[in-house]
Structure 1
Amino acid sequence: MRFRELVFPLRMKEEELLERFYQEEFFCFVIEEDKRGNRLLKVYLQEWETLPSFLSNWKPLNEKVTTPKDWTVELEPFEIVEGVVIDPTEKMVRRDKIVVKLSPGIAFGTGLHPTTQMSVFFLKRYLRENSRVLDVGCGTGILAIISKKLGASFVMAVDVDEQAVEIAKENAWKNNVDMIVKRSDLLIEVEGVFDLVVSNILAEIHLKLLEDVNRVTHEESVLILSGIVDTKEDIVREKAREKGWSLLERKQEREWVTLVMKRS
């Protein structure tokens, strides 16, 4: 599959940009830094796709044709948290650490972002062996794969974007991980009850998730919500409180906050 890659200088705050993309249901993008520290936005379009409307007046720095094989060339293995290594090269063998072979694809999460790192940090802390885990907005499937490698007995990963679902399925196969991956708009297609629910998406989406998450959890379930900009932490915590969840722990990196909650 071939894509057009358009590179733009980043002209707005990252959280504002993410909100605009979610509003237009566009997920094929990535934010990077060049060697000079300049923040760049890379957008990937299939032949039939057009730019999201809010980018129509942005002038790209460059444009080229690319394929999925090009997307992981510059990434090297790295330890996302202590004891968990992400390996985009798919060549590393370690017996003393959890190794996740990951083809990031585009925009769906390499593990480099602090929201992903904080999610993994709390998965290590709260996931119990034989837990049933649900990853909502799974992207590459990185959190679901790590959950299985940490000892979860059953893992389901869902995402609203079909391309993310296909990438997550591919990554699960590469890691020899048995998990269910399917398309679902939040919890619409989800049945069953889970011991731990993790979601690394935007604050506004967490508000919708909280409307239905009680249906798929029990009184001892743990809920990990990441991807929250600090200016919107209060609205998420208030909605959670209304739905019967109390704060166990929080962690913040830069402007991003991750919350761990349990039923009140």
Structure 2
Amino acid sequence: MSNTIYIGYNFKVQPLQPAVEILIAELGYAGFESFVENEDGVTAYIQKEEWNQDILEDVQILNSKEFNIAYTFEDIEQTNWNAEWEKNFNPIVVDDTCAVRAPFHEKFNVQYDIIIEPKMSFGTGHHETTHMMIQHILKNDFKDKSVLDMGCGTGVLAILAELKGAKPIDAIDYDNWCYLNSLENVERNNCKHITVIEGDASVLKNKYDIIIANINRNILLQDMATYISCLNKNGMLFLSGFYDDDVALITSECEKHLLKFEEKLERNNWVSLKFLN
């Protein structure tokens, strides 16, 4: 890897939030593998052999009228990603109960202490949607419940579900980097009941007491029928990855499948919903 060449894109973003979070998520889907946030925006890295001149074609936020995003890019020699990431990742504590930290952070005196090394994967707990999903898990009974973590990213939600007594747990992500990262984090947290699977909704075949899906509005709407077909009677469905403006659309789709709305959490205009089957 010592001779690997990367291309670094420097994005200047105004206003910063929530644009930077959305931009990172979309760049991840496009193939970028490492991100470093800064006071002006974010620098994103992709291996040169994975790059093509249309790499940003599907990054929709670049065409948004809500944000002003400019960028430059250049070839970069191999970077010490761990050192870059260490400088930019801070631990978090959710509701004084669950900590999400890196291996190099000191342990927190909380009930649930989770160690995550996210690399490029989405889901460190810093983003509003992951934070709210953690809150949902903390508030609800997961003891001996079968769980699906759909779009698992780093695996942090599946790991917390096991810490709360859930089993068995399937953690699924279509992105190979997220799949490998979840495997690492599951092992790092000594989890015994999580099966990590690479794929999308088409690989679903089991039934679950609880389904967690923190993805985005379009994927949720597209795959909702599949999720619900996998949800046991009296099961719980937790959804996030969308804005408050999308709640009516999401709720309508769930109610069409006879789910009952139970609870809404909101954080900086991002929303997480709970439904009962």
- TM class by shorter-chain length? 0.7 to 0.9
The count of aligned residue pairs is 257
Alpha-carbon distance in 2 for matches of 1:70, 1:4: 18
Match for residue 191 of structure 2 among 177, 198, 220 = 177
Q: Given the alignment of the two structures, is residue 124 of structure 1 paired with residue 125 of structure 2, yes or no?
A: no
Alpha-carbon spacing, 1:71–1:184, altered in 2? closer, same or farther (3 Å): farther
Alpha-carbon spacing, 1:29–1:231, altered in 2? closer, same or farther (3 Å): farther
Contact 1:72/1:104 (<8 A) preserved: no
Report what 2:13 is aligned to. 10
Q: Given the alignment of the two structures, is residue 233 of structure 1 paired with residue 247 of structure 2, yes or no?
A: yes
Q: What stretches of structure 2 of length at least 5 have no aligned partner?
A: 63-68
Deviation at 1:109, TM superposition (A): 2.2
Deviation at 1:106, TM superposition (A): 1.3
Mapping for residues 147-158 of structure 1, pairs under 5 Å: 147-158=161-172
Query: Secondary structure, in 3 states, of the residue corresponding to 2:158?
Result: helix
Alpha-carbon distance in 2 for matches of 1:184, 1:27: 19
Normalised by the length of structure 1, the TM-score is 0.86
CA shift digits 1:193-252 (9 cap, x unpaired): 111111111111110221211221112110000111122221111111112212100011
Alpha-carbon distance in 2 for matches of 1:54, 1:212: 25
Report what 2:72 is aligned to. 60
Report what 1:48 is aligned to. 49
One-letter code aligned to 2:161:
S
Query: Secondary structure, in 3 states, of the residue corresponding to 2:85?
Result: coil
Q: Given the alignment of the two structures, is residue 79 of structure 1 paired with residue 93 of structure 2, yes or no?
A: yes
Report what 2:149 is aligned to. 135
Alpha-carbon distance in 1 for matches of 2:33, 2:197: 18
Q: Given the alignment of the two structures, is residue 188 of structure 1 paired with residue 191 of structure 2, yes or no?
A: no
Alpha-carbon distance in 2 for matches of 1:246, 1:193: 19
Alpha-carbon distance in 2 for matches of 1:77, 1:21: 23
Contact 1:27/1:108 (<8 A) preserved: no
CA RMSD of aligned residues (A): 2.8
> Identity of paired residues, percent?
22
Deviation at 1:42, TM superposition (A): 3.0
Alpha-carbon spacing, 1:78–1:18, altered in 2? closer, same or farther (3 Å): closer
Between 1:229-238 and 1:247-256, the stretch displaced more is: 229-238
Report what 2:66 is aligned to. none
Contact 1:134/1:156 (<8 A) preserved: yes
Deviation at 1:78, TM superposition (A): 2.3
Between 1:127-136 and 1:157-166, the stretch displaced more is: 127-136
Match for residue 69 of structure 1 among 59, 66, 82 = 82
CA shift digits 1:88-108 (9 cap, x unpaired): 134534564211111011142
One-letter code aligned to 2:71:
K
Q: What stretches of structure 1 of length at least 5 have no aligned partner?
A: none
Report what 1:88 is aligned to. 102
Alpha-carbon spacing, 1:241–1:198, altered in 2? closer, same or farther (3 Å): same
Alpha-carbon distance in 2 for matches of 1:109, 1:28: 14
One-letter code aligned to 1:49:
E
CA shift digits 1:160-209 (9 cap, x unpaired): 10111001101111111121111111x21122111111111111111022
Alpha-carbon spacing, 1:48–1:62, altered in 2? closer, same or farther (3 Å): closer
One-letter code aligned to 1:6:
Y
Contact 2:146/2:166 (<8 A) preserved: yes
